[in-house]
Amino acid sequence: SDYAFVPVGEVSKAGRGRHTTTTTTLLQVPGGGVIADTPGFSFPSLEGVSLENLVWCFPELAAAIRDKPCRFRNCSHLSEPGCAIVSGQFSRHPIYVHFRAEAKARQRLEVKGKMRVSASRQVSSSSSSSY
């Protein structure tokens, strides 16, 4: 087996594996694809991906949209009628929903941060002109 070189450790009392590797390794999966062994990371993040582009990170969801586009151009792929993804059976749709919620929360924080910076600039420029 190609995986014979991968060190395996005991499972913790919490039911999680313990880190046995120290470097990132890509493992080829029979039939296509790769698995990334990334020590120290338990859940990936798509920090730089916008809400609009998130669906394209899931090849099977992107293929469904290309085959049969959603009814609405601004479809969120959550519950809209005529959505190519919601109407299909995709095992990774819950993962898409999770990442979409994460991206939306991050977007809100970025907007709040920009508003805060803009407000502080207005306050500092108005206070400096009052002298």
- 115 and 73, same structural domain? yes
Provide the residue-wise pLDDT of the chain in tens; the chain has 131 residues: 455 566 667 777 777 766 666 777 788 888 888 888 777 766 667 778 888 889 998 999 999 999 999 999 889 999 999 999 987 789 999 999 999 998 898 888 888 877 766 666 666 665 555 55
- CB-based contact 78:93 (threshold 8 Å): no
d(CA 91, CA 85): 11
Domain that holds residue 13: 1-42
Within-domain flag for 47: no
Residue 51 tokens, joined: 């809400």
Q: Where are the beta strands (DSSP E) in the chain?
A: 25-28, 34-37
Residues 8 and 32 in one domain: yes
> pTM (2 decimals)?
0.57
Residue 82, amino acid: G
pLDDT at 63: 93
